[in-house]
């Protein structure tokens, strides 16, 4: 069976490669046409091509399930039309055994998709964000026009808000603004630093200008009286060490959308959000989406499996393949919709991520079993049907 498995893998991989190249070319062409209006003096055509090249890993990751489905259906339909699957059936390969072979064939694609998601896609997204700021001067990803914002508690029970204008590739930061509040949400200190770097789990700020607000200033201004002391004092220090829960990895995680983070970065960022009592629902949904992604590939190959047992002698293979592709694409779209609706409706993330996949696998396995045992099922219905009339 190793020879048969290698032959199936070669046919499926070849068909999937052709389909993925066609889909990548089509979607890249549409993206290029959509961005042609932005080409100008600052944003050249070469910059546009560079950004589209950086988007290829993410686009490939998104299109891989659809490409696997269409490629596997076309490959299996071709084998069935050439009666090569009949030879496998005659040699003793059952439908479930063929499905097991297809799952084994899918394993290299799952490993490749995992490596793509954990290493290539996050790096490409970071480069794409930097290129967008350089060429377009526009914020991208999770960056606002005012920079990146972080919130964390302080040791005295207060709150600290950190604004960072620029994240550098080496993990350093530029344009840091620090707001420190007392437990009553009363601003006490406003600090601005030109640059900052992380050393020994501390954020070291350089060229810091600190504005300290007097405790009685707010009450004096509220009573419309002239304060007896200066309401604010500005001091400058060359360096200040700040105990913070931030790290270079968490700063880079802020650049990426949750779906584009690596698994370790996403887990660390969820832990950071929970520690600081921030909403992590979107990140949790993205985590379950990444966990369910390999299972989605197995679902796609399972949907394609019944195509191999379709009758081809009566014709209509093209229509059946087209229906199979529509069903697979519809499932993929329904899966994405269920994840978004589940996040909005506060459904359990594991249910919205795994529910459609489990349902699709059960339906595909039922269809495969029905096709494999259709003759036995037909005979059972003919003999056991309660309203069947006895022959005279």
How do residues 351-367 score in pLDDT, each as one tens digit?
888 888 888 888 888 88
Rounded CA separation 281/276 (Å): 14
Reported pTM:
0.81
The answer to whether the beta carbons of residues 61 and 260 sit under 8 Å apart is: no
Residue 251 has a pLDDT of 82
Phi, psi at residue 195, to the nearest 5°?
-140, 170
Instruction: Please name the residue that has the structure tokens 């964390």.
Output: 152
- Residues 6 or more apart whose Cβ sits within 8 Å of residue 15: 71, 72, 74, 75, 78
Residue 13 has a pLDDT of 96
The beta-strand segments (E) located in the chain are: 148-153, 159-167, 173-181, 187-199, 202-213, 232-243
How do residues 233-256 score in pLDDT, each as one tens digit?
899 999 999 988 888 878 877 777
Sign, CA dihedral 230-236-242-247, equals: positive
How do residues 60-84 score in pLDDT, each as one tens digit?
999 999 899 889 988 888 888 888 8
With CA atoms as reference, report the closest residue to 208 among 240, 182, 230. 240
Rounded CA separation 244/162 (Å): 10
With CA atoms as reference, report the closest residue to 76 among 301, 290, 287. 301
Residue 107 has a pLDDT of 96
Higher-confidence residue of 291 and 232: namely: 291
Residue 240 has a pLDDT of 94
Sign, CA dihedral 236-241-247-248, equals: positive
Instruction: Tell how far CA 49 is from the center of its chain.
Output: 23
Rounded CA separation 158/20 (Å): 52
Rounded CA separation 257/266 (Å): 10
With CA atoms as reference, report the closest residue to 99 among 367, 294, 365, 292. 365
The answer to whether the beta carbons of residues 246 and 262 sit under 8 Å apart is: no
Higher-confidence residue of 307 and 266: namely: 266
Percent of the chain with pLDDT over 70: 86
The answer to whether the beta carbons of residues 296 and 86 sit under 8 Å apart is: no
Token code pair at residue 255: 């650049």
Residue 176 has a pLDDT of 95
Rounded CA separation 207/194 (Å): 6
Phi, psi at residue 214, to the nearest 5°?
-70, 145
pLDDT band at 139 (very low <50, low <70, confident <90, very high): low
With CA atoms as reference, report the closest residue to 16 among 108, 122, 118. 108
């Amino acid at each position: 069976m190793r020879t048969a498995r290698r032959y199936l893998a070669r046919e499926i991989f070849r068909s999937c490669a052709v389909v993925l190249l066609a889909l990548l070319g089509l979607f890249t062409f549409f993206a290029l046409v959509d961005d042609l209006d932005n080409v100008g003096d600052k944003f050249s055509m070469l910059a546009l091509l560079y950004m589209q090249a950086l988007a290829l890993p993410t686009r490939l990751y998104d299109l891989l399930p659809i490409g696997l489905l269409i490629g596997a259906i076309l490959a299996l339909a071709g084998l069935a039309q050439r009666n090569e699957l009949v030879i496998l059936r005659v040699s003793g390969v059952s439908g479930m055994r063929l499905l097991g072979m297809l799952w084994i064939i899918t394993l290299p694609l799952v490993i490749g998709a995992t490596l793509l998601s954990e290493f290539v896609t996050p790096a490409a997204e970071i480069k794409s964000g930097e290129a967008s700021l350089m060429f377009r001067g526009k914020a991208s990803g999770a960056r606002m026009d005012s920079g990146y914002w972080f919130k964390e508690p302080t040791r005295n029970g207060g709150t600290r808000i950190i604004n960072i204008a620029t994240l550098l590739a080496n993990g350093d930061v530029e344009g840091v603004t620090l707001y420190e509040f007392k437990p009553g949400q009363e601003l006490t200190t406003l600090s601005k630093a030109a640059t900052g770097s992380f050393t020994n789990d501390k954020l070291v700020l350089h060229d810091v200008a600190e504005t300290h607000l007097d405790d009685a200033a707010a009450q004096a201004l509220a009573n419309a009286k002239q304060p007896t002391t200066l309401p604010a004092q500005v001091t400058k220090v060359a360096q200040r060490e700040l105990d913070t829960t931030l790290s270079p990895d968490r700063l880079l995680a802020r650049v990426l959308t949750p779906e584009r983070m690596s698994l370790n970065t996403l887990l660390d960022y969820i832990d950071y959000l929970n520690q600081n009592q921030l909403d992590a629902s979107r990140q949790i949904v993205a985590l379950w989406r990444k966990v369910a992604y390999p299972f989605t590939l197995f679902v796609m190959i399972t949907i394609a499996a019944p195509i191999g047992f379709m009758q081809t002698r009566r014709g209509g293979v093209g229509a059946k393949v087209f229906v199979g592709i529509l069903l697979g694409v519809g499932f993929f779209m329904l899966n994405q919709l269920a994840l978004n609706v589940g996040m909005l409706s506060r459904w359990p993330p594991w249910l919205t991520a795994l529910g459609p996949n489990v349902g699709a696998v059960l339906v595909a396995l039922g269809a495969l079993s029905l096709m494999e045992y259709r003759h036995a099922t037909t005979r059972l219905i003919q003999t056991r049907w309660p309203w069947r009339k006895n022959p005279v």
